[in-house]
Amino acid sequence: MRELVGTCTVCGKEIYCEDGFLNGEHLDNELYCFDCAAEKE
Ligand SMILES: [Zn+2]
């Protein structure tokens, strides 16, 4: 199962939830892909 959750706040990449696993991160109520989440830290 693959569900579109939203897009990365920084780069606009689409974030999906796949089998309950989010291929991004929720930080401060915003959605980030892993690349942008890593740069934010
Ligand atoms: Zn991004």
pLDDT tens per residue, the chain (41 residues)? 899 999 999 999 999 999 999 999 999 899 999 999 999 87
Gap between the Cα atoms of 41 and 38, Å rounded: 6
Beta carbons within 10 angstroms of residue 14's beta carbon:
13
What is the distance in A from the centroid of ligand 1 to the CA of 19? 21
What is the distance in A from the centroid of ligand 1 to the CA of 30? 11
pTM, whole model, 2 decimals?
A: 0.83
When the pLDDT of each residue in the chain is averaged and rounded to a whole number, the result is 94
6: Cα separation from own chain's centroid: 7
Gap between the Cα atoms of 36 and 17, Å rounded: 17
What is the distance in A from the centroid of ligand 1 to the CA of 33? 4
